[in-house]
A and B are shown apart, each in its own frame.
Chain A
Amino acid sequence: MDFQVVVLAGGTSKELIPLVSKEVPKALLPVANRPVLSYVLEFLEQSNLKHLIVVVEGEDAALRVGGWISSAYVDRLHVEVAAVPENIGTAGALRAIGHYLTAHDILVVSGDLVCDVPPGAVAAAHRRHDAVVTAMLCSAPVSGPSESGSSGGKDKTKKPGRYNIIGLDPTKQFLLFIAAGAEVEKDIRVQKSILRAVGQMEIRTDLMDAHLYAFKRSALQEILDQKESFQSLRQDVLPYLVRSQLRSELSLDVAQAEENGNDKVVSLDNKVMLSQLVANTSSSSFHELCAMGPNGSAPFPRKTHKCCVYIASKNKYCARLNSIQAFSDINRDVIGEASHLSGYSFSAHNNIIHSSAELGSKTTVGPQCMLGEGSQMGDKCSVKRSVLGRHCRIGSNVKVVNSVIMNHVTIGDGCSIQGSVICSNVQLQDRVVLRDCQVGAGFVVSAGSEYKGESLARK
């Protein structure tokens, strides 16, 4: 369908320290014991998109991600991994791989997206309107994490207004305004010209930009070439396109139209008549009406381009792994309410216990839990709503609630872990009590210590 897919897998994200490290770039963070990137790749594979470009920040990370992809997806996907320097932003990353992009349209997907919205829908909406950019919006989680017990205690990472402020036209097909909620201080400015052209704008705050965009390649590359300072797709490119949609500076419209043979500038009468025939009898968006001027017959039609949105329906799952809070939320959701994403089959107790896992006597594993391959648990343990990785050794009398424990973790007797994330190769000695903590890879927590809401990592 003449689409190219670029997966921006990022590098080692600052927000996710101490979970990420040199060894574990963001793309390989385990969500229900699978790297988060696998969710994106499978989500694309389901839509028959098998030729992907994965862009990773940093050579080391690229090597690791590439190695993992080739081991997991050999014969299934045709993936090219490109390494770009760190901190050049999403726009910079696309600039860097610009010469690989040849298709008419490009689908840009963030590598940390866990969702089940068909990407074809975005692409189809993009094609239908012949838009320059189409963004996927999904409904933001009602209150972030579901508040239960200790899980919501992480106020530090959860800002109240971090979701986007989005202006839509009455048909909910075009994007008229976008701003990140966190960046807005007091007031937002809406362009009068757009408002005049549309007549009515709906401003919504309950939508979240899912970082899945379809771009027209020629437009995107033109912007990236012209605006050297643009760093980020979300913060620079998208708002620029939205702002300038009624006074487009893109030259592609003309070029494109000439290709299609219905250009208005070409002096052939027939061609003009033809395009008018098609345009007049079709229901036109405000863009065309505005372009044609107030009387519908401006001598020089204004150049416009369209910025579309695709709003995913509410019953679809969509989340981005961009904070520690999101990490534990997604882990919980993938095992819980969005379990179809995980690709595992659940047991009768609504949990996943690998056949090689060993449980001691009187140990209970509650619903919505996952126990990885080769893990061992002692007696009288209790696991609730948690994900335990591979080859963990857990002593007796351990309580694990609402937590994520990665691979090769050793936990001593009598520990209590609530709402925490414990990375690989961590050792918790006896009677450790953790509440809302993050423990970085390879850290050793000494016996009897108690922590609450702290981030522990090797210095």
Chain B
Amino acid sequence: MDTRRAPRAVIDPKVRQVGFFAPPGQAQPSSSPPVSDLSPSSNSLSPVMIPPPRPVPFPAVPLSPLRRPSAGESIPVGSYNPSEFASPTASFSEEAPSPRRAHRGISRKFASSLPSGGFDFAASKPNNFPASSLKTVSVVNTPPGVSAFPDKKGSKAAFAEKDGGPSLEVQCEQSASSKSLKEKTSKAERRALQEAQRAAKATAKAEGSKAPVVASGEVTATNAKPVKASKAPSQKNDISSVVASEKKGGDRPPEKDRKKDVPQPRMQFDDKIRVEKAKKRAVVKQTEAKHRVELFRHLPQYEHGTRIPDLESKFFQLDPVHPAVYKVGSRYLAGDISGGNARCIAMLQAFQESIKDYSTPPEKTLARDLTAKMNCYVSFLIECRPLSISMGNAIKFLKTRIAKLPLTMSESEAKATLRSDIDRFINEKIILADMLIVRHAVTKIRDGDVLLTYGSSSAVEMILLHAHELGKLFRVVIVDSRPKLEGQLLLRRLLGKGLSCTYTHINAVSFIMHEVTRVFLGASSILSNGTVYSRVGTACIAMVAHEFHVPVLVCCEAYKFHERVQLDSICSNELGNPDTISKVPGRKEINYLDDWASNENLQLLNLIYDATPSDYVSMIITDYGMVPPTSVPVIVREYRREHLWI
């Protein structure tokens, strides 16, 4: 902790945003009584700090002191402080776990010893004032979201005020507003006046904290640099926030301070600010589902009905997305492609297509521009459906390949190299790996075996078919579960090849496990602590099999391994469409959950994946052979270089 504390407390501006520094800043002599009341409380946990009930901090958490001047006029000073104090303990846990912990310790010390909160406050001001006065100017510029058709807008505003669908209306509105600002300076002036008043208010409030700034010039000097650096992005940020907030009455807090945050490994969807921000960037308009299970709020869940039509209607506006990528994305969204390997292959083939059609714009280098393009495609695909780990690994591979391209290589050569690299990845990492897995696994199948499998795994299917071709006599039990019923497809194909099968649902697994001699499971990913991350229900099967002393063999290609460690299936998972579990296909009379969305007390949970602890896995069959789950980190470590072909 000490190593962490030293740099962060003095130099790094990151620390100050997280929230604990704010109260000391407020605790200047001029501040209101409840605030000064609070500053000692940061030294010892007093009953005042008891976090308010859970739902409250979500909308109201003020994230940092920087935001105060703009948001302050609507919120009384005293009212948000308790929630701010509560935030590190209750609702901020997903922010950035390690800094937070370090921080608590720091703030306890600092709150009493140093007036450091004051610097922070003042340092934020030069950042804030220009940005707010820039607002009016920025409106004149075309907002980034609409910049795709600026020429169209002008003519449209002139030609027809009311035009077309709802999405376009919004743009018209924006263009109209920007137009009026351009023409009538009076309105702009009025706005500037308003901003000035707002700013003046903020200055008045922050007056007390000004004095220590002057006293401790060296600290502000260290602060000044990051502030300046953050200026440009914050301005840019404001352009979009102004546009977005015009309808909402301009009470959106600017998020410029969050810019400096440590980039998070993944988006936490109960973090309102980030979600808002992501929404603005998003290509697909996504309305989030209303009733979400508390424990899984950090995962994205959207109203499923609304996304496909929206994506479809924007078809011709999505110029930056290559048609092949678009097609794959829309098929992910519609659920036409599922399964780790299939999704990965489809994505790579789409990338191949897009590389084929790619040409480097003048005055840009292929490596940089193509990487940017790939990022754009990947973020589009993420919007359609969160990436699987296999896809993440494949993208990482492709990006390293692009980055490693020699600068002297001509464009056509580079493209050909990349395309053949992708082909090689598909062949070696997926197809050959599957063949090797089949070769290894078949040795574990003996005559008279009863093999159980769950869902539909491509690797397991190949193993079964190959064993059948070798003339082994065995029986297959396919265990399936609602709502996807993927096992039926597998069943159909196995029956077509003449295998003898038993089909049952997961409810009956404890009964059927008596007769089973081996369990073969597929996996979406295997993490470095040996946890198998796979279709929901896999853990249940593995545990039952373990209880019955039936060996559990997990078949997984090594490109799906990941160095992450995961102990539960909560922190990273995917939520499916809740409607699919509330409706039973083919049985209209089961309609008890028809209007579940209107019931406040009901939340549906349709998890896609679960994590099987390594205790329940007897063996992992991978392209490097049959290994115990404890050997996964070895493979991840030793073969990572080979995976990326560095």
Interface residue A393 (Cβ < 8 Å from any Cβ of B) = no
Q: Is the CB of A340 within 8 A of B316?
A: no
Q: Indicate whether A345 reaches chain B with its CB closer than 8 angstroms.
A: yes
Please choose the segment from B30-38, B161-169, B242-250 that sits at the chain A interface, where 4 or more of its residues have CB less than 8 A away.
B161-169
Residue-wise interface mask of B (308-319) relative to A, using a CB-CB cutoff of 8 A (1 in contact, 0 not): 010111111111
Please name all residues of chain A whose beta carbon is closer than 8 Å to the beta carbon of B336 when the two chains form the complex.
128, 282-283
Query: Considering only CB atoms, which chain A residue lies closest to B432 in the complex?
Result: A270
Contact status A1-B316, CB under 8 Å: yes
Which one, A53-61, A115-123, A248-256, is touching chain B?
Answer: A115-123
Tell me whether B339 is interfacial, beta carbon within 8 Å.
yes
Contact of A116 among B164, B341, B345, B489 (CB under 8 A): B164
Q: Which of B314, B323, B490 contacts A127 (CB 8 A)?
A: B323
How large, as a class, is the contact surface on chain B?
35 or more
| Contact status B339-A282, CB under 8 Å | yes
Partner of A45, one of B152, B312, B496: B152
Assess whether A345 is in contact with B339, with CB atoms less than 8 Å apart: no
Q: Contacts A128-B330, A278-B342 known; A48 to B149 CB distance under 8 Å?
A: yes
| Residue pair B317, A277 in contact (C-beta under 8 Å) | no
CB neighbors of A among B146-168 (8 A): 148-149, 151-152, 155, 159-165, 168
Q: Return B453 CB to nearest CB of chain A, in Å.
A: 14
B163, A343: Cβ atoms under 8 Å?
yes
- Say yes or no: B327 contacts A277, CB within 8 Å: no
Contact A345 B489 (CB under 8 A): no
Q: Which of B317-331 contact A (CB under 8 A)?
A: 317-319, 323, 326-327, 330-331
Contacts of A3 in B (CB 8 A): 316
Minimal Cβ-Cβ distance residue in A for B163:
A343
B290 interface residue per 8 A CB criterion: no
B458 touching A277 by the CB < 8 A rule? yes
> Contacting chain A: which of B110-118, B423-431, B591-599, B617-625?
B423-431
User: With an 8 A cutoff between CB atoms, is A456 at the interface?
Assistant: no
Contact flag A76-B339 (CB < 8 Å), given A48-B319, A295-B496, A340-B162: no
Closest-by-CB residue of A relative to B317 is A48
Kindly state the separation between the CA atoms of A21 and B311 in the bound complex, as whole angstroms.
Answer: 42
Interface residues of A in 266-283 (CB under 8 A from B): 270, 273-274, 277-278, 280-283
**A273 cross-chain contacts in B, Cβ below 8 A:** 431, 434
Which chain B residues lie closer than 8 Å to A379 at the CB level? none
Cβ-based interface call for A361 (8 A): no
Q: Which of A119, A125, A270, A280 interacts with B427 by CB under 8 Å?
A: A270
Taking a contact as CB atoms under 8 Å apart, the answer to whether B317 and A47 are in contact is: yes
Query: Is B349 part of the contact surface with A, judged by Cβ < 8 Å?
Result: yes
Minimal beta-carbon separation of B576 from chain A (angstroms): 14
Give the chain A neighbours of B326 by CB distance below 8 A: 1, 124, 127
**Contact yes or no, A281 B313, CB < 8 A:** no
List residues 338-382 of chain B with CB under 8 A from any CB of chain A: 338-339, 341-342, 345-346, 349
User: A274 and B345 in contact (CB under 8 A), knowing A120-B313, A121-B309, A295-B496?
Assistant: yes
**Complex contact B315–A120 (CB within 8 A):** yes
Cβ of B316 and Cβ of A281 under 8 Å apart? no
Q: Which B residue's beta carbon lies closest to that of A260?
A: B349
CA distance A196 to B152 in the complex (A): 50
Are the CB atoms of A343 and B461 closer together than 8 Å?
no
Cβ contacts under 8 Å, A240 to chain B: none
The reply to whether the CB of B492 lies closer than 8 angstroms to some CB of chain A is yes
Query: Interface digits, A289-303 against B, CB 8 Å rule (1 contact, 0 not)?
Result: 000001111000000
Q: Does A87 contact B (CB under 8 A)?
A: no
Q: Note all chain A residues with C-beta closer than 8 A to B602.
A: none
Q: Mostly helix, strand, loop or mixed at chain B's interface?
A: helix
Does A49 reach chain B (CB closer than 8 Å)? yes
Whether B162 and A297, one on each chain, are in contact in the complex, defined by CB atoms closer than 8 angstroms, is no
Is the interface on chain A under 10, 10 to 19, 20 to 34, or 35 or more residues? 35 or more
Checking A116, A128, A344 against B334 with a beta-carbon cut-off of 8 angstroms, the contacting residue is A128
Counting chain B CB atoms within 10 Å of each CB, the highest count among A49, A123, A281 belongs to A281
CB contacts (< 8 Å) of B316 on chain A: these are 1, 3, 47-49, 119-120, 123
Contacting residues of chain A (89-146) with chain B, CB-CB under 8 angstroms? 104, 116, 118-121, 123-125, 127-128, 130
Given A121-B315, A280-B458, A281-B338, also A343-B496 (CB < 8 A): no
Given known contacts A123-B315, A123-B316, A124-B330, A270 and B431 CB-to-CB distance under 8 angstroms: yes
Give the CA-CA distance A83 to B493 in the complex, in Å: 53
A282 / chain B contacts, CB cutoff of 8 Å: 331, 336-339, 342
8 Å CB contacts to B: which residues of A14-61? Answer: 42-43, 45-49
Which chain B residue has the least Cβ–Cβ distance from A49?
B316
Taking CB atoms, residues of chain A closer than 8 Å to B160 are 42, 343-344
User: Which residues of A lie under 8 Å from residue B335 when comparing CB positions?
Assistant: 283
Docked CA distance A283–B342 (Å): 11
Cβ contact of B314, chosen from A75, A76, A116, A120, cutoff 8 A:
A120
Could you tell me if B431 and A120 are in contact, using CB atoms closer than 8 angstroms? no
Chain A residues near B318 (CB-CB < 8 A): 1
A48 neighbours in B (Cβ, 8 Å): 148-149, 152, 316-317, 319
A344 to B323, CA, bound (A): 35
The CA of A125 and the CA of B309, in the complex, are separated in Å by 10
A48 to B426, CA, bound (A): 36
Contacts of B313 in A (CB 8 A): 118, 120-121, 124
Give A127's nearest chain B residue, CB to CB: B327
Kindly state the separation between the CA atoms of A319 and B354 in the bound complex, as whole angstroms.
Answer: 38
Question: Contacts of A124 on B, CB cut-off 8 Å?
Answer: 311-313, 315, 326, 330
A377 to B387: give the CA distance in the assembly, Å.
66
In the complex, how many angstroms separate the beta carbon of B42 from the nearest chain A beta carbon? 54
Interface set, chain B 121-164, CB cutoff 8 A to A: 148-149, 151-152, 155, 159-164
Check A343 against B337 for contact (C-beta < 8 Å).
no
Any A CB within 8 A of the CB of B497: yes
Contacts of A281 in B (CB 8 A): 337-339, 341-342, 456, 458, 486
Q: Which of A182-226 contact B (CB under 8 A)?
A: none
Report, nearest first, the 3 A-B pairs whose CB atoms are least far apart. Answer: A120-B315, A281-B339, A343-B160
Q: Which residues of B pack against A, CB within 8 Å?
A: 148-149, 151-152, 155, 159-165, 168, 309, 311-319, 323, 326-327, 330-331, 334-339, 341-342, 345-346, 349, 426-427, 430-431, 434, 456, 458, 461, 486, 489-490, 492-493, 495-497
Instruction: List 18 contacting pairs A-B, 8 Å CB cutoff, sorted by A.
Output: A45-B152, A47-B316, A48-B152, A48-B316, A76-B152, A118-B313, A120-B312, A120-B316, A121-B309, A124-B313, A127-B327, A128-B330, A262-B349, A280-B489, A281-B337, A282-B338, A283-B336, A340-B163
Q: A277-B431, A313-B309 are in contact. List 15 more A-B contacts (CB 8 A).
A: A1-B319, A47-B315, A76-B151, A118-B315, A123-B312, A124-B311, A128-B331, A274-B426, A280-B456, A281-B456, A282-B337, A284-B489, A294-B496, A297-B493, A343-B159
